[in-house]
Structure 1
Amino acid sequence: MQNHPNQACVTRCSVLALAVWGALLSPAYATDTSQLDEVLVQASRDNTSLVQSKRSVALVTRQQLDEQQPYSVADALEYQPNIEVGGGPRGSNQQPIIRGLTGGRVLQLVDGSRQNFNSGHRGTYQLDPELLEQIDVIKGPASSLWGSGAIGGVVAQTTRDARDMLKPGQLLGGYVKQGVGSAADRNSTSAALYGQLNEQVDMLINGYYQDQNDTRLGNDESLANSSERGTGGMIKLGWQLDESRRLTLSHRYSKTIGSVPGNPATNVGSSSPLIDRESSDGSTVLGYQLNPESELVDLDVTLYRNKTEADEFRIAKQQHDSTQYRTLGLNLVNRSKLDWGKLTYGVDAFQDKSQGHREGASRPAPADGRTEVVGGFVQADLPLAEAWVLSPALRYDHFQTEAENLDDSRRSESELSRSLALSWQATDWLQLIARYDEAFRAPTSEELYTSGTHFSMGPMGSNIFVPNPELRPETASNKELIARAAFDGVMAEDDSLKLGASLFENDVEDFIEQQVSRFETTYNNVNDAELKGGELTIDYDWQDLSLGLSYGRTRGKDKKSDRALEGIPADKWVASAGYWLWDNQLKLGARMTYTDSVSFEGENNSERYDGYTLLDLGARWYGRGAVDGLELGLVVDNLTDSYYRRAFNELYEPGRNIKLNALYRF
């Protein structure tokens, strides 16, 4: 893959100059970076904050979600370097691409519970951002912490909690919120009620409803079959047993209904017929925290059950399909502080079950499969000297899988995942980190066991799915260098400047891909990939002004043929700023995104995707006095109404989208 911006240097410099100038005139959604420093990165499992993490991480807080008003989790992450939105513009089908990897190669968590649903062209991110308190991301392999699936990274979603929403001294509260969006005539309504039932018990009830018509694109045409309706909610109970023990129980549910192509990343066609789809997702999580006055015990235990269902009706052929996926799991992690360092260790176990039914002849049969995984891990932080910390980690996973509808399909395998990081606090303003991480992804039931007819070729016969229970797990090894610098008093006594940079090389072996020959379709381990790239971030804060600049770049090639990998996102620059007015009552802002063009030369095809520049504006007002609790928000995405599509996407993205929302807290 090659990126070919026209007059690259001149164009990039012009765009960046315009971005910074526009940001100064119309500052953006910037959250105080000193506040972000204190937020825990839940995906790290060791209770480190953003500034303490020894990994490449990204974080989106509730305040940023309120200011951005994203329609999906992937949408909420789109401004982060080396994170792109994949799956096309239909929100229920979107998912993040992290350093060139997506889908089952990115592990997603909600309150510590694994979201393992992955089936065909169906969306995998079922949770609406309205229910979230924060999203944090580990970029790069992280199986030493989480086991299977974390080859590209981890997206950890943390839901809202009554304790976070209650003001000091408040016993009962709530909010109602109404939002509209112009690009698809989107309407969204949400509300929550939360309170302290007594000195020990708190409760949160949250729900939402949203609907939209077909999405308008930048050329004033509409994306057919993109309308949908969604509902969902959550109830969460917390019981503070004493000062050191807390128990939480939550249940959330969501449902999305719409008529979409069989592959929502495309338009309706002969290979992607129109279907009525109803997707539902439910999850119950029981959590226990124990943190006594002991350096040896800081324990989290999580028991969870997830169930995802997709009911579909092929309109043309009047055929009904159903797919069910269930995950039952247990996590236990403890952190101990010792005289010679810190230990983070635990065990995880989960079981996935998939089954489905499809009407009609010549249809692929969903796997009736089961996978069981048990793993244990340990990570140490060992101070070697005053400025050096060595952090080794090791994890062992054993998994077994079988399909009840296939004879002799039972198999088992074990994997070791290692990690090693060396951190050097070179000065009080400079930190350097070198790390090595391994990861693996076990094959899914669909990849191992799908059988039946893929498609009919008329008088010539049919193309048949051939199961491949001998698939090997995908494995990855990543080498990375990270540098962070922080300065105070750069141009004024009370300003701060923070710089971050990383370089990585991720080698992924035994990529699993679907291969289609004339009469057969099967999943095979087909190539070994090399993914290389880097990220750069600059953040400047002075009084009520915040400025930011980031850059992300990933390159990928097949190590066997030396050919570029298809699907690697384009280089991306993001310039942003934020400014508070009226004694922190009004926040104004803008973000400008510049993405390079991409040219791809494959073995049998060549593709080109034009670069694009997007300008997003925003403002949020916080009421005081007689209107205390009232918040009004305005976001304008794609102000210039650009007609654009992301690299390797078939569909174009929404045009100008004016999002208005009003929220009242009581």
Structure 2
Amino acid sequence: MDYKKVSALMLFMSFSLQATPQPEENKLTNNIADQQKNNQNKTVNEDIEDVITVIARSSSPDELKKINSVIAGRSTLSLGMIEQKQADNVAELLNTLPGVSSAGSIRPGGQTLNIWGFGKVEDVKIIVDGAQKGFQKYQQGSVFVEPELLKQVEVNKGPHDVKFGNGGFGGVVKMETKDAIDLLDPNRYVGGLLKYSFHSNNHQNMETGAVYGRTKNNFFDGLFYYTKRNSGNFKRPDGSRFVFSEDDMKSYMGKLNIRPNEEHTFTLSGIHSKRDSWQPWAAKYVEKMMPPTAAQIKKYGYKAAWLRKLVKRYQTDDSAQFKWNYQPTYNPLIDLTLHTTYSKTKQDDKRPAKNNPVASLGTMGNKSWVSYTDKTIELENVSLINIGDVNNALKIGVQTHLHDRDTLMYYKNYEKKPNYHYGYFQPAYMPSGKQQTYSFYVQDEISVSNWVLTPSFRYDYVRNHGKKNYASAYNDPDPKFGHNYSPVTYSGWTPRLGTYWQATNNIGFFGDISYAWQAPTVDESYEVQFTPKNGGSGKITATSRNLDKERDLSIRLGNILDFNNLVLDDDKLQIRATLFRQRVTNEIFVTRGFNGSICGPGKPCPLGQSNYRNLPGKLIVKGFELEAFYDSKYWFSSATYSMQKGERDTAPQAPWMHNKTYVATVAPRTATLTTGFKVPQWNIRAGWNAQFVRKQDRTGHEDRNHDGLPDLGAYALGPSSGYSLHNLFASWQPTFLPKAEVKLAVDNLFNKDYRLYLGENTYGLARNFKASLSYRF
């Protein structure tokens, strides 16, 4: 990529976000009424606001607009866009944002998120109403939130937000669920919602019901939401089916906001989702299952021959929050928030007890029980301090994050082996353990004239605790094999600096630089292998308590252009360009042999090598994004473009080789185009969308070392071909039935046969007709 040309281009971009004064006293009732009014009466700029957040609105065209760099660089999907997409999962919802890609398969529960080439679970923080979701089960997805519950999704790319530490190199995805005031008419105190949706590809039926209300004085508002998805198997473009990809998911949500006066706000909410189905054990990558042979069908019967290859999976996903905000009316030094959250995801898998099920150590045996629990508590205060012409918003916070993972499997083949605890033990590649994080952060948002400077620093203390395996094969006391599950700690500072400059009423620039770090996960610290007396080699058996933390020097530069009344009255154009570079050192990678060697050619390795190691050199991911959005009374359009490139200084499975290798998890170059029309008098909106994805040929399969072997070995991804997808969408609110709304969409209009690169070349979906009918009363 020619960064000089890109940088020159960015100098000609410009931006003017429309700001509004901070809320003043006696704001409670007015703010709620205004929010309800905005929910019912969309502005002509709603199509832009669905993707690039309009921060606020100016009461004077001459007023300078000031925001911070994190806000300037983030992307936001609002309620209108979420409902229009009618997505099956959150990854599908975000997949069209530049720099954000879905990884894994289309199977229910098989998706993870990749931002700027960072695709590990710990690299992309998932936040739902403030609750962190930390599901890291091997070969499974990580995002199980029902999109129907969401009113807004924010994507903050890169590690530039002071509120998040220890990870998140790719970024943070913050999801907010619906409130009663998002659904109520301004003059109503009680309401309800009924909605039905249908997807043709997998014959999916989805029913939604909700009841909600508020008191006349807005003392409290609350809602209860229920949604159910039920579907058959997904279809590929060639007409075949992803067998055993049925979905049967139910979600429940309750939320209550209490405002005893203008200074206090309390929020209580909870979400519960559950799935229960037969499916392949590895939801993330299993695509085409080998059907049973004629001999197997004859021996077990057709149904049993299939089921012996599957697991009966029962999954629950829960999250809850309590939030208290105290903001005295006449004291700008206090804006205090106490926020506590709880999140737990469980998967219980069971293979059929009879008919010789296909079970193995690598797929967690005949039965398995896994749970990941995250608990957080945060206390934060924001003080507004004005000294002359300098305005300060000083943010100080403390956080505690407790992550607990319990894993257990039963492997029938080992039920008579005492060294494997008679079949009940933790998978060696997915140990049980805890990670405790204690944090402190300070940020000062300094506004001077048309500049906003945001210096911050954060301190994290991380303590990993391993849990000894029940199986002595993975808990050998001989120190030369390194089965050491004792705690290990990491700590350090993360300095950040952000800046935003409103050069003119139409030109603004933003930039961020962060030096973040990430501690090893429980997996990386405590994965082991069995020892020689249990049949192993003893070469790579040890836990990895000697790892250094990873470091990421991340730089982001950008600017945005914003014009009103450019061609037509009340039209709007926004363009945002972003240039980024991330440099990771001490990258943690799994230790495995390469070309017959573990420590290098001719170098003998002692027994008990750690299962993970830090790589020498650096990993660099850099890229460029361009987003343009136009909206007017009758017409709207948008275009995005994203390109990324990633390279390491060395081969990760052979760190003694100093030849450069590509980063396999970098998404292909992608562009999107959208255009459509609106008929305001009939409440009709319709359009066309296309996604253009380039082939990906930098996958780690290359032989840049000229040794006859792929650079990344088994950790490479297969090259993929380019493709384009075309979609249609429409919505209609009948004037004779204003409380009803119909939404229609067609995905993959031309039934294009395509493969998902980050899904290890799994098939995409065939043409899919989507329709929903909702009615509010």
Is the pair's TM-score, using the shorter chain for normalization, greater than 0.5?
yes
Q: Deviations over 1:354-404 (max 9, x none)?
A: 1121112377244231111111111112234x2222211100011112113
Percent identity (aligned): 24
- For residues 229 and 183 of structure 2, the distance between their equivalents in structure 1, rounded to whole angstroms, comes to 23
- The residue that corresponds to 1:395 in the other structure is 458
2:615 to 526, 548, 551: 526
Secondary structure at 2:135's aligned position in 1? coil
Mark the CA change 1:304 to 1:242 in structure 2 (over 3 Å): closer, same or farther.
Answer: same
- The residue that corresponds to 1:8 in the other structure is none
**1:143–1:438 contact (8 Å) kept in structure 2:** no
- The residue that corresponds to 1:643 in the other structure is 753
2:558 to 482, 485, 490: 482
**1:352–1:371 contact (8 Å) kept in structure 2:** yes
CA shift for structure 1 position 274:
3.2
- For residues 682 and 113 of structure 2, the distance between their equivalents in structure 1, rounded to whole angstroms, comes to 33
1:316 to 358, 361, 373: 358
- The residue that corresponds to 2:261 in the other structure is 242
Mark the CA change 1:645 to 1:50 in structure 2 (over 3 Å): closer, same or farther.
Answer: farther
Mark the CA change 1:34 to 1:153 in structure 2 (over 3 Å): closer, same or farther.
Answer: closer
CA shift for structure 1 position 491:
2.5
Matches within 5 A, 1:379-394: 379-384=443-448, 386-394=449-457
CA shift for structure 1 position 105:
0.3
Matches within 5 A, 1:5-16: none
- The residue that corresponds to 1:656 in the other structure is 767
Mark the CA change 1:635 to 1:389 in structure 2 (over 3 Å): closer, same or farther.
Answer: same
- For residues 258 and 523 of structure 1, the distance between their equivalents in structure 2, rounded to whole angstroms, comes to 34
**1:266–1:650 contact (8 Å) kept in structure 2:** no
Mark the CA change 1:284 to 1:209 in structure 2 (over 3 Å): closer, same or farther.
Answer: same
- For residues 541 and 51 of structure 1, the distance between their equivalents in structure 2, rounded to whole angstroms, comes to 25
- For residues 613 and 173 of structure 2, the distance between their equivalents in structure 1, rounded to whole angstroms, comes to 27
Q: Deviations over 1:152-175 (max 9, x none)?
A: 100001011112222112111110
Matches within 5 A, 1:35-54: 37-38=53-54, 53-54=70-71
CA shift for structure 1 position 463:
9.8
CA shift for structure 1 position 82:
1.1
2:523 to 415, 439, 446: 446
Is 125-134 or 251-260 further displaced after alignment?
251-260
**1:73–1:129 contact (8 Å) kept in structure 2:** yes
- For residues 584 and 482 of structure 1, the distance between their equivalents in structure 2, rounded to whole angstroms, comes to 39
Mark the CA change 1:530 to 1:122 in structure 2 (over 3 Å): closer, same or farther.
Answer: same
**1:194–1:204 contact (8 Å) kept in structure 2:** yes
- For residues 117 and 292 of structure 1, the distance between their equivalents in structure 2, rounded to whole angstroms, comes to 38
CA shift for structure 1 position 236:
1.1
**1:137–1:155 contact (8 Å) kept in structure 2:** yes
- The residue that corresponds to 1:468 in the other structure is 544
Matches within 5 A, 1:204-353: 204-264=223-283, 265-267=285-287, 274-293=310-329, 294-314=331-351, 315-317=357-359, 319-339=366-386, 340=390, 341-353=392-404
Q: Deviations over 1:55-84 (max 9, x none)?
A: 521111111111111111111111111111
Q: Deviations over 1:564-584 (max 9, x none)?
A: 111211011101123211426
- The residue that corresponds to 1:423 in the other structure is 500
1:376 to 440, 452, 477: 440
- For residues 390 and 197 of structure 1, the distance between their equivalents in structure 2, rounded to whole angstroms, comes to 41
- For residues 196 and 324 of structure 2, the distance between their equivalents in structure 1, rounded to whole angstroms, comes to 34
Matches within 5 A, 1:499-648: 499-517=575-593, 522-526=611-615, 528-560=618-650, 561-583=659-681, 585-600=683-698, 601-603=701-703, 604-605=709-710, 607-625=718-736, 627-648=737-758
Matches within 5 A, 1:96-245: 96-102=113-119, 103-142=121-160, 144-196=162-214, 199=217, 200-245=219-264
- For residues 568 and 428 of structure 1, the distance between their equivalents in structure 2, rounded to whole angstroms, comes to 36
- For residues 316 and 633 of structure 2, the distance between their equivalents in structure 1, rounded to whole angstroms, comes to 46
Output the aligned Cα RMSD.
Answer: 2.8
CA shift for structure 1 position 92:
1.5
Higher strand share: 1
Mark the CA change 1:422 to 1:646 in structure 2 (over 3 Å): closer, same or farther.
Answer: same
CA shift for structure 1 position 624:
3.1
TM-score by length of 1: 0.88
Q: Which has the higher contact order (CA 8 A, sep 6+)?
A: 1
- For residues 541 and 87 of structure 2, the distance between their equivalents in structure 1, rounded to whole angstroms, comes to 38
CA shift for structure 1 position 254:
0.7
Q: Which letter maps to 1:579?
A: F
Mark the CA change 1:127 to 1:355 in structure 2 (over 3 Å): closer, same or farther.
Answer: same
Q: Which letter maps to 2:434?
A: R
- For residues 376 and 664 of structure 2, the distance between their equivalents in structure 1, rounded to whole angstroms, comes to 35
- For residues 261 and 207 of structure 1, the distance between their equivalents in structure 2, rounded to whole angstroms, comes to 28
Secondary structure at 1:242's aligned position in 2? coil
Mark the CA change 1:466 to 1:174 in structure 2 (over 3 Å): closer, same or farther.
Answer: farther
CA shift for structure 1 position 592:
0.7
CA shift for structure 1 position 417:
0.7
* Unmatched 5+ stretches in structure 2: 2-43, 57-64, 291-307, 352-356, 360-364, 415-419, 421-425, 469-482, 599-608, 651-658, 704-708, 711-715
* Unmatched 5+ stretches in structure 1: 2-28, 41-47
TM-score by length of 2: 0.76
CA shift for structure 1 position 664:
0.9
